[in-house]
Each structure stands twice: as C-alpha cells, then as structure tokens.
Structure 1
Amino acid sequence: MSANNLFLKSAFVRAPLKNGVGRYVCQLQRIVFKFCKSNGASRGMRDFIEQDLVDFSKDNPGVVVYLKPRRHRGPVIVGEYLNGDRLWMSVHNKTHEEIVKWVELFRTQQGNNWNSRLRKYQYTNHPSVQGPWTPFTFKDPELNTAELPDVRFGSNNRLPATATEQLRLMFEKQKLDELKTAE
C-alpha cells in the first residue's frame, strides 16, 4: 500500500443497484452555478446561463438548479448527488462549449469516488502480471488471415461420429446386407 492511501477514507464502490434496468434514475440531485456578473473569467458561464440553462432545466426536471452570483470570485459548478457526494469544479476561463461538456459530465455520473480508496471483495497477495485470460490468448496468429475451414487448423472431418450418425451408418449397412442376401 502506498502512502497516498493513508489519508483517504476506505470505501467500496457505491453503484446504484440495477439503475437503468427498469428505468434510469438520474443521480444528480442539485447543481449550483456560482459566477460573477462582471468578471471576465465568468464569460463562458454567463453564456451558458443565457443560452442553455433553460433547456437544461426543461430536459432534467429532477435536477434542482441554483444560480449564485458572487462578486469578484471565479466561476464554479457544484453538483450534489443522491448518495451524498458533492463535486466541485472550477470553470475559470472556460468557454461556453467546455462548460456544456462539464455540465453533461456532472449530469451523467453518479458522484465522487475519487476521494476514497476503492476496496474490493477479493484480494490476492500475488496478482497476475500476465493479464486476463481470453479464449484467443494462445491461438496461432495465422488464424486471423486464414480462409476457413482449413486442414491446418482442424476441420470437422476429424471429429468422431456421433451416436446418431453411428446408428444411421449401422442401419444403412444392415439394409445393404439385406439387399445383397435377397439377390
């Protein structure tokens, strides 16, 4: 464990259970736009408020939107989520388009899991350095460009006959034997 984890709280991933299976529940509960009416660094925020805020509010009726004008302070977006997390983002000197992208990110994520050391239920003292196994791990690279079926990579002719095929062959052989004896 590195020293960076000493001051972080320990937590499991708190994903909303089955969110999106029946219906999707937006995890953003409240968003606060803090800005200055005259500061040049708040220009992008003021443009967002003038052009897109009403449409954002109409599209997301479950999100409470607050505007908080502040004198001589940098623009900030604060998002509060259903799980109690608060995200704070300074949008100092950001353009209108960048603020639209940040607001969309706030709307689609579920909170802040970066301030906690993520724990997992399984643990090993010797983690694998080889990576996860897949069915294609030890396959021959020639298989990517080969025209299949190819005898080099195996064909269906080598498979043993199934029980049904064996019975069919025995029945046909029996019929042939009966025809030969009848002649």
Structure 2
Amino acid sequence: MTSRGTPSRFLRSVLQNGVGRYVCQLKRVSIIFSKKAQSSLGVRDFVEEGVMDYARSNPGTVVYVSPQSRCVPKIVAEYLNGQVREEYVTSKTAPQISEILTKLTNQSGQDIIRIRKPFHTDSPSIQGQWHPFTNRPPCIGPITPQKRNPD
C-alpha cells in the first residue's frame, strides 16, 4: 500500500514468463449456465458454437462446461498461482463471452494494481539511469538551438 491508499508494485513478469518460452497462466476455465433460463441464452449459443474453437486454440487450458439448474451464468477462471476469477455473463451474447474468455486467458491471475514506475532493478547502479548524453564530452558545451540565416 502506498500513502495514497492504493496498492502498487514494480513491473515484473510472472515466474520469469517469456524468458524461455511463454506459458499461459490460465489453467482451468469452468463455464456454468442453466439449461432453460433466458439469461443463459448467450452462454448456450457459445457452448454450441464457440467452445470447441476456444479449446483448440488454447490446448494448455482445461475447459469444463457444466449445465446446472437455477444458477446464474458465470465463467470461473483458475490460474497457476492459485487465483480464482469469476465473471458473470448474464444476458451476454456469444461474441461478448468470447471476448471475456480472451481477456481472462491473457491475464496472469495477479491483481490489477497501479505500477510504480516502468523500470526497476534489484541491483541499482550508482551511476544512475543511462540517457543519450551520459558520456557526452564536456568540451562540446551545452546543446543550443541552431540559429537561422535571415535570407
């Protein structure tokens, strides 16, 4: 927590993801809907048309489809770090559900918080951050705007 009361952290990758090969952090998706309720109409359409395409394009993610009676339609996403996210998809269409699943697939499971600064190192340099004028010889003098010739 910062003095402003909002949580923050430095930018970092999950388990050094991307250093070797990319590992999708989403391990399990459960699509829960009602067989007869009107609010589950879009979910039923997605299950009939789009769930196989999603499963083929994400082979590292297990997809469970569970029809239950008298329940609110939702998507439950479980990540490798143990986080569980629930997205309620009441009265959503099949393309909207596909967008929600894509969003959940691209997330890491960590809480979305404010990033303190775009760069961070565990062993900082005593010289400071590099910029184009770091090693500029002092004899050249300061950079000034060029003067125009009044022609």
Smaller-chain TM-score bracket:
0.5 to 0.7
1:48 aligned to 2:46?
A: yes
Deviation of the 1:119 alpha carbon: 8.2
Gapped runs of 5+ residues in structure 1? 123-133, 136-151, 156-183
Higher RCO (C-alpha 8 Å, min separation 6): 2
Q: Which runs of 5+ in 2 are unaligned?
A: 121-130, 133-143
Secondary structure, aligned partner of 1:31: strand
TM-superposed deviation, 1:15: 3.3
Aligned counterpart in structure 1 of residue 82 of structure 2, from 84, 92, 96: 84
Deviation (angstroms), 1:52: 0.8
Larger radius of gyration: 1
Does 2:99 correspond to 1:101? yes
2:109 to 104, 108, 111: 111
1:85-130, Cα deviation, whole Å (9 max, x unpaired)? 110010001111110100000111111404x89889x9xxxxxxxx
- The alpha carbon displacement at 1:82 in A equals 0.7
SS of residue matched to 2:99: helix
Partner in structure 2 of residue 73 of structure 1 = 71
Give the % identical residues.
Answer: 40
More helix per residue: 1 or 2?
Answer: 1
Alpha-carbon distance in structure 2 between the residues aligned to 1:81 and 1:14: 17
Question: Which of residues 19, 22, 25 in structure 2 aligns to 1:24?
Answer: 22
SS at match of 1:153: coil
Show structure 1 runs of 4+ deviating over 4 A: 10-14, 116-120
Give secondary structure in 2 for the equivalent of 1:34.
strand
What does the per-residue CA deviation read over 1:2-31, in whole Å, with 9 as the maximum and x for residues that have no partner? 6x76xx8x9877731432233211000000
TM-score by length of 2: 0.68
**RMSD of aligned residue pairs (Cα, Å):** 3.1
How far, CA to CA, are the matches of 1:71 and 1:14 in structure 2? 42
